């Protein structure tokens, strides 16, 4: 039986399309209107709301909770103060990525972890003798992402806390007399917040947010818009950019944090003394070699247009991502395959076709030429592209101090 | 000149900071020329400006949407880096005049059903219509993106250009070529009759056939205006329009930043009196205040009348060119009525939604309605029940107005530049009332929402932008004024008879709208001449 989120009753009224996908057993809107691109622009130019409730939510607490998380998560949770959150990964003992998630630290001993796939059993198995309790509280809370340049203006009318939150900070707040956690987090690469609210109050909070957003162009956005947004923002998606190592069949399906483009999470790991699952393998990789680098790819617009025009077609500029991987070569013809694009889309704000790519590390310096295999009129051909630093779209407002 | 002050010396001076002048300056500066843009007003943009007429309300005074802009200019001038942000219009709304409506959006299947709701016959005609138009655009596009060949020239380069054109046209399928000719010579009404039976469906598609032009949808020549407007695109979708963030003035600010980043200098409040020539060469310009700037290249972004008859001495020009420019038609028939609104208008059949206001609101229910609106213009008067192309940008771009309030841009036709037996100062408010009463008839209670009304007549357009007779295309879209006749036979390749003096305004190929191509193509001509 498919489940619905705590916001569904209201959001389904606003959904004129009846188009849903299933996200971990929940109905999740693909789009709310005939135009997912319009929803996309709400996030890039005004404000949009997204129901992110299907995330799994785990409460982790106890005197040893910090020690426990320091031992399983790739980033050092000890540097995360109460009122802050961390985007992090966890690995298996060979240093391959299993999942990613966001940890919200509420106090010295209380944490909430949100994750796209179930992970409780794995964490419980690693708890050992530590004084830590882990509890699945997924059904207790709804989560509403409020994203876009106007998100702060809209939310500060409801919660003064919105005016002072720094990037990845969170604070207790109150909306429509319901207690909530407001965090400066999201999955769009824009200025944005998420509201975590007890399920019973979810509709009241949603109504208040939509009301406050009147006149600011607020609208709900669905997964189609989210995919364009997250690719522009360089945010990886499990089962697209990588597969959980524990569920992979071969090492070709696996990635390390470094290979996933998360090398920035590993600062200090080599010299530090924090043992965590996968650390030894990660250190070996840091002192040795990686198979892949993750980079952005930006297509040569003139070549793209020419290839289509020469084939008698109008050059397509589609903001819906390609549903398959495309291969990268080191030459316009012949040569070798040197990587692949995991996600590919036309970016309306960048006015370019862009991709998230995995490339041989020696060829991945920003500005390096690559050649992307595409199909035009039933023939494969290669379009010129260049590598670029991620994220490809990164407005100052995303991380700016209030 | 007795009181001449000496300004600096440049490699190139662009007269006029409209969008084509800015594009031209951007390319010239990018190529390394020390480039100066001289703009008479206190802001750049020409007819593409955004002004805060009432505090908090940003009006797109004249031009109000983007589509024709050639996409390569976005890339070549790195406009994204400087804030280029086209916001899609999610819908087009066409009241049918009987309380009903046609509402088209971004989903093809839903559009087909919407057409079918009015006419099952027109549902698949809609697909064929757009396909056929796309094919025509495909055939014509290379002509758009290249200078017109000099068919009167005799040198090998001209011959090669003509051969290129003939070769290209020879490759066009015969049905497509026939459609090209039907559109270029015929009326929009005849063209639409071949596809559609429903009056509202035809009316909806006919609206782009009259914009800025002294034609009705039944006039020969309206087909060409329709085709021209279909030549544009938004993110690869032909005929799609977008709002630029902050209005079209937001767009020209992006162009100015890009030009400056490439090294161009922009001077505001610098009204040029004339181009200084010496022995048949342009050597600089003089401002009205007497300041002079020297440069071996001067590019006029003004319309052909000003370029040839005001900035330079017509006695220095060949008589046939002067004659052609004198004869060129500039009959402005368009006005703007812009509103600051206290709330969104209400369309009774759609009382609870806003999404029908996301793009153009097309107030011209049928071809007959628009043709009758045109009738008055033939006899020197404005329409009692005008055609209106309205857009409420604040619906998709909340920065345009305070929360909950809106700005509504109304492009209104027909409003002939010259009125018989009266003048625009006398008729301004009555004309505004006529437009408002049409809106009132579709959106009851509209008048109660109006916080401020701005009526921009053709005379205002001429006075504020310099566009002769308020013609928004800087020269009408008439067959004898297009392609290798634009602006005059033999002078369609951006050069002029005066060495070092060039033209890059919308009065040159491929002409009007916010398109940028004249500015770009003219820069290529300048740079080619400098190299040779």
Answer whether A181's CB lies under 8 Å from A174's CB.
no
What is the number of domains present in chain A?
1
Q: Which of A150, A318, A351 sits opposite B84 (nearest CB)?
A: A351
Give the residue numbers spanning the domain of B434.
334-414+416-456
Same domain, B481 and B448: no
Query: Residue A34 has which token pair?
Result: 């005939």
Neighbour count for residue B254 (Cβ, 10 Å): 24
- Cα torsion at B337, B340, B343, B348 (round to 10°)? -10
Query: Residue B21 has which token pair?
Result: 């002048």
Question: Does residue B353 lie within any of the structural domains?
Answer: yes
Question: Would you list the DSSP string of A10-57?
Answer: HHHHH-SS--EEEETTEEEES-SSS-HHHHHHHHHHSEEEEE-TTSEE
Same domain, B226 and B129: yes
Nearest to B443 by CA among B525, B523, B347: B347
Question: Does residue B481 lie within any of the structural domains?
Answer: yes
Strands (E) across B415-528 are located at: 450-456, 501-503
Indicate if the alpha-carbon torsion angle A371, A372, A375, A377 is positive or negative. negative
Question: Would you list the DSSP string of B289-324?
Answer: TSEEEE-SEEEE-S-HHIIIIISS-GGGS-HHHHHH
pLDDT at residue A185 in the model: 98
CATH number at residue B307: 3.50.50.60
**Residue in A with minimal Cα distance to B342:** A215
CB contact under 8 A, A38 and B107: no
Same domain, B339 and B451: yes
**Residue in A with minimal Cα distance to B354:** A217
pLDDT at residue B2 in the model: 38
Residue with tokens 């965090």: A183
A299/A385 Cα distance (integer angstroms)? 4
CB contact under 8 A, A214 and B395: no
Same domain, B286 and B358: no
- Cα torsion at A67, A68, A69, A71 (round to 10°)? 90
Element (H, E) at B102: strand B101-104
Q: Looking at the complex, does the CB of residue B476 fall below 8 Å from at least one CB of chain A?
A: no
Last residue of a domain, one of B186, B213, B234: B234
Task: Identify all chain A residues contacting B79, using CB atoms and an 8 Å cutoff.
Answer: 351
CB contact under 8 A, A38 and B396: yes
Same domain, B448 and B343: yes
Same domain, B446 and B350: yes
Same domain, B325 and B345: no
Same domain, B319 and B425: no
CB contact under 8 A, A46 and B402: no
Q: Which of A33, A216, A316 sits opposite B236 (nearest CB)?
A: A316
Task: Identify all chain A residues contacting B72, using CB atoms and an 8 Å cutoff.
Answer: 301-302, 305
**Residue in B with minimal Cα distance to A150:** B398
To test the contact with chain B by mutation, choose from A35, A212, A299 the residue with the greatest count of B C-beta atoms within 10 A, namely A35
Strand A218-220 relative to strand A369-376, pairing = unpaired
pLDDT at residue B6 in the model: 62
Neighbour count for residue B348 (Cβ, 10 Å): 10
Question: Does residue B420 lie within any of the structural domains?
Answer: yes
Same domain, B448 and B344: yes
To test the contact with chain B by mutation, choose from A41, A304, A393 the residue with the greatest count of B C-beta atoms within 10 A, namely A41
Question: Does residue B100 lie within any of the structural domains?
Answer: no
Question: Does residue A330 lie within any of the structural domains?
Answer: no
**Chain B, 210-249: which have a CB under 8 Å from a chain A CB?**
235-238, 245
Task: Identify all chain B residues contacting A349, using CB atoms and an 8 Å cutoff.
Answer: 80, 85
Same domain, B39 and B130: no
Answer whether B148's CB lies under 8 Å from B484's CB.
yes
Question: Does residue A30 lie within any of the structural domains?
Answer: yes
Answer whether B387's CB lies under 8 Å from B210's CB.
yes
What is the number of domains present in chain B?
3
Question: Does residue A35 lie within any of the structural domains?
Answer: yes
> pLDDT of chain A along its 402 residues, tens only?
999 999 999 999 999 999 999 999 999 999 999 999 999 999 999 999 999 999 999 999 999 999 999 999 999 999 999 999 999 999 999 999 999 999 999 999 999 999 999 999 999 999 999 999 999 999 999 999 999 999 999 999 999 999 999 999 999 999 999 999 999 999 999 999 999 999 999 999 999 999 999 999 999 999 999 999 999 999 999 999 999 999 999 999 999 999 999 999 999 999 888 999 999 999 999 998 999 999 999 999 999 999 999 999 999 999 999 988 999 999 999 999 999 999 999 999 999 999 999 999 999 999 999 999 999 999 999 999 999 999 999 999 999 998
Distance from CA of A37 to the nearest CA of B (A): 8
Query: Residue A3 has which token pair?
Result: 């489940």
CATH number at residue A37: 3.30.1360.120
Q: Which of B87, B236, B402 sits opposite A315 (nearest CB)?
A: B236
> Which residues make Cβ contacts (< 8 Å) with residue A144, sequence separation at least 6?
A7, A49, A50, A51, A52, A53, A194, A195, A197, A202, A205, A206, A209
Indicate if the alpha-carbon torsion angle B301, B228, B250, B261 is positive or negative. negative
Same domain, B324 and B355: no
Long-range contacts, stretch B487-490, CB < 8 angstroms, 24+ apart: B487/B304, B487/B307, B487/B308, B487/B324, B487/B325, B487/B328, B488/B304, B488/B320, B488/B321, B488/B324, B488/B325, B488/B328, B489/B152, B489/B320, B489/B324, B490/B150, B490/B152, B490/B320, B490/B321
Q: Which of B88, B134, B245 sits opposite A37 (nearest CB)?
A: B88
Peptide bond into B510 cis (omega under 30): yes
**Residue in B with minimal Cα distance to A347:** B235
What value, to the nearest 5°, has the Cα angle with vertex B514 and ends B211 and B518?
A: 110
To test the contact with chain A by mutation, choose from B91, B232, B403, B407 the residue with the greatest count of A C-beta atoms within 10 A, namely B403
Q: How many CB pairs under 8 A join A and B?
A: 85
pLDDT at residue A272 in the model: 86
Q: A287: exposed, middle or buried (C-beta count within 10 Å: 0-12, 13-18, 19+)?
A: exposed
> pLDDT of chain B along its 532 residues, tens only?
334 456 689 999 999 999 999 999 999 999 999 999 999 999 999 999 999 999 999 999 999 999 999 999 999 999 999 999 999 999 999 999 999 999 999 999 999 999 999 999 999 999 999 999 999 999 999 999 999 999 998 999 999 999 999 999 999 999 999 999 999 999 999 999 999 999 999 999 999 999 999 999 999 999 999 999 999 999 999 999 999 999 999 999 999 999 999 999 999 999 999 999 999 999 999 999 999 999 999 999 999 999 999 999 999 999 999 999 999 999 999 999 999 999 999 999 999 889 899 999 999 999 999 999 999 999 999 999 999 999 999 999 999 999 999 999 999 999 999 999 999 999 999 999 999 999 999 999 999 999 999 999 999 999 999 999 999 999 999 999 999 999 999 999 999 999 999 999 999 999 899 999 999 999 999 999 999 8
Give the residue numbers spanning the domain of A16.
8-56+139-221
Q: Looking at the complex, does the CB of residue B172 fall below 8 Å from at least one CB of chain A?
A: no
Peptide bond into A99 cis (omega under 30): no
Task: Identify all chain B residues contacting A37, using CB atoms and an 8 Å cutoff.
Answer: 88, 90, 106
B5/B7 Cα distance (integer angstroms)? 6
Nearest to A313 by CA among B141, B90, B357, B146: B141
Nearest to B105 by CA among B356, B348, B395, B353: B356
**Residue in A with minimal Cα distance to B106:** A35
Question: Does residue A15 lie within any of the structural domains?
Answer: yes
3-state secondary structure of B167: helix
How many DSSP H helices and E strands does chain A contain? Answer: 9, 19
Task: Identify all chain B residues contacting A346, using CB atoms and an 8 Å cutoff.
Answer: 235-236
Query: Residue B524 has which token pair?
Result: 């290529």
Q: Please give the C-alpha separations between residue A148 and each of A220, B40, B415, B470, in angstroms, as whole numbers.
A: 12, 38, 41, 40
List the A192-198 sheet strands across, edge first.
A170-175, A178-183, A192-198, A141-147, A47-51, A218-220
Question: Does residue B65 lie within any of the structural domains?
Answer: no
List the B35-38 sheet strands across, edge first.
B265-267, B35-38, B12-15, B297-300, B501-503
Last residue of a domain, one of B456, B488, B521: B456
To test the contact with chain B by mutation, choose from A148, A152, A217, A319 the residue with the greatest count of B C-beta atoms within 10 A, namely A217
CB contact under 8 A, B106 and A150: no
Q: Which of B88, B91, B236 sits opposite A314 (nearest CB)?
A: B236
- Cα torsion at B73, B91, B217, B330 (round to 10°)? -40
- Backbone phi, psi, residue A397, to 5°: -65, -25
Indicate if the alpha-carbon torsion angle B446, B448, B449, B453 is positive or negative. positive
Last residue of a domain, one of B176, B202, B234: B234
Same domain, B391 and B486: no
pLDDT at residue A323 in the model: 86
CB contact under 8 A, B75 and A301: yes
Question: Does residue B75 lie within any of the structural domains?
Answer: yes
Strand A141-147 relative to strand B233-234, pairing = unpaired
């Amino acid at each position: 039986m498919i489940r619905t989120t705590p916001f569904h009753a209201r959001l389904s009224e606003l959904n004129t399309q009846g188009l849903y996908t299933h996200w971990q057993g929940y109905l999740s809107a693909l789009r709310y209107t005939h135009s997912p691109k319009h929803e996309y622009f709400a996030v890039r130019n005004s404000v949009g709301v997204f129901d992110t409730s299907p995330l799994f939510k785990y409460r982790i607490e106890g005197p040893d909770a910090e020690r426990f998380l320091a031992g399983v998560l790739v980033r050092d949770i000890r540097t995360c103060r109460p009122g802050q959150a961390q985007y992090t990964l966890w690995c298996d003992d060979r240093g391959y990525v299993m999942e990613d998630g966001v940890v919200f630290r509420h106090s010295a001993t209380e944490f909430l972890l949100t994750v796209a796939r179930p992970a409780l059993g794995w964490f419980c198995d690693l708890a050992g003798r530590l004084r830590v309790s882990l509890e699945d509280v997924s059904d207790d809370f709804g989560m509403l992402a409020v994203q876009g340049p106007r998100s702060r203006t809209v939310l500060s009318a409801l919660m003064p806390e919105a005016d002072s939150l720094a990037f990845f900070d969170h604070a207790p707040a109150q909306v429509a007399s319901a207690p909530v956690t407001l965090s400066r987090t999201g999955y769009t690469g824009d200025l944005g917040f998420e509201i975590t609210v007890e399920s019973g109050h979810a509709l009241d909070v949603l109504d208040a947010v939509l009301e406050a957003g009147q006149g600011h162009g607020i609208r709900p956005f669905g997964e189609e818009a989210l995919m364009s947004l997250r690719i522009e923002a360089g945010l990886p998606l499990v089962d697209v950019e990588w597969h959980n190592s524990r569920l992979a069949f071969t090492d070709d399906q696996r990635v390390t944090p470094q290979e996933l483009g998360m090398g920035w999470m590993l600062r200090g790991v080599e010299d530090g003394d924090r043992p965590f699952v996968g650390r030894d393998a990660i250190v070996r990789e840091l002192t040795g070699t990686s198979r892949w680098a993750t980079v952005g790819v930006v297509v040569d617009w003139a070549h793209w247009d020419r290839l289509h025009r020469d084939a008698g077609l109008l050059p397509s500029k589609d903001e819906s991502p390609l549903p398959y991987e495309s291969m990268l070569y080191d030459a316009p013809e012949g040569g070798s395959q040197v990587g692949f694009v995991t996600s590919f889309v036309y970016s309306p704000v960048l006015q370019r076709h862009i991709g998230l790519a995995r490339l041989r590390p020696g060829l991945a310096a920003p500005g390096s030429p690559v050649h992307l295999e595409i199909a035009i009129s039933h023939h494969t051909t290669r379009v010129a592209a260049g590598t670029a630093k991620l994220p490809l779209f990164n407005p100052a407002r995303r991380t700016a101090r209030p | 000149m007795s009181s001449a002050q000496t300004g600096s010396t440049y490699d190139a001076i662009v007269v006029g900071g409209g969008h084509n002048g800015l594009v031209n300056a951007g390319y010239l500066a990018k190529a390394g020329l020390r480039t100066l843009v001289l703009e008479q007003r206190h802001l750049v943009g020409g007819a593409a400006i955004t002004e805060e007429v009432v505090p908090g309300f940003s009006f797109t005074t004249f031009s109000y949407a983007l589509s024709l802009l050639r996409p390569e200019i976005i890339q070549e001038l790195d406009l994204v880096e400087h804030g280029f942000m086209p916001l899609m219009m999610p819908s087009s709304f066409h009241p049918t005049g009987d309380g009903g409506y046609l509402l088209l959006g971004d989903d093809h299947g839903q559009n087909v059903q919407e057409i079918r709701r009015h006419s099952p016959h027109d549902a698949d005609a809609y697909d064929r219509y757009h396909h056929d138009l796309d094919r025509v655009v495909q055939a014509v596009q290379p002509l758009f993106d290249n200078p017109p060949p000099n068919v009167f020239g005799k040198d090998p380069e001209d011959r090669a250009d003509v051969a290129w054109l003939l070769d290209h046209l020879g490759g066009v399928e015969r049905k497509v070529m026939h459609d090209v000719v039907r559109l270029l010579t015929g009326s929009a009404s005849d063209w639409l009759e071949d596809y559609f039976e429903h009056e509202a469906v035809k009316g909806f598609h006919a609206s782009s056939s009259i914009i800025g032009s002294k034609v009705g949808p039944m006039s020969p020549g309206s087909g060409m205006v329709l085709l021209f407007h279909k030549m544009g695109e938004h993110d690869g979708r032909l005929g799609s329009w977008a709002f630029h963030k902050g209005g079209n003035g937001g767009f020209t600010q992006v162009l100015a930043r890009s030009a400056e980043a490439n090294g161009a200098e922009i001077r505001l409040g610098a009204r040029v009196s004339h181009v200084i020539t010496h022995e048949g060469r342009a050597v600089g310009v003089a401002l009205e205040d007497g300041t002079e700037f020297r440069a071996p290249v001067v590019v006029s972004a003004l319309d052909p009348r000003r370029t040839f008859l005001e900035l330079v001495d017509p006695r220095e020009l060949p008589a046939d060119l002067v004659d052609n420019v004198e004869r060129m038609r500039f009959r402005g028939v368009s006005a703007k009525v812009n509103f600051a609104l206290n709330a969104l208008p209400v369309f009774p059949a759609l009382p609870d939604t806003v999404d029908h206001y996301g793009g153009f609101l097309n107030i011209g229910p049928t071809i007959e309605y628009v043709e009758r609106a045109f009738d008055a213009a033939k006899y020197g008067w404005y329409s009692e029940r005008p055609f209106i192309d309205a857009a409420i940008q604040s619906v998709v771009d909340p920065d345009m107005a305070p929360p909950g309030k809106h700005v509504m841009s109304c492009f209104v036709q027909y409003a002939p530049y010259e009125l018989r037996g009266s003048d625009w100062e006398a008729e301004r408010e009555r004309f505004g009332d006529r437009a408002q009463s049409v809106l009132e008839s579709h959106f009851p209670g509209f008048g109660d929402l109006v916080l401020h009304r701005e009526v921009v007549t053709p005379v205002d357009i001429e006075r504020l932008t310099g566009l002769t007779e308020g013609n928004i295309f800087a020269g009408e879209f008439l067959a004898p004024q297009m392609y290798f006749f634009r602006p005059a036979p033999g002078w369609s390749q951006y050069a002029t008879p005066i060495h070092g003096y060039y033209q890059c305004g919308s009065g040159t190929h491929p002409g009007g709208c916010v398109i940028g191509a004249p500015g770009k193509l003219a820069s290529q001509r300048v740079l080619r001449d400098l190299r040779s």
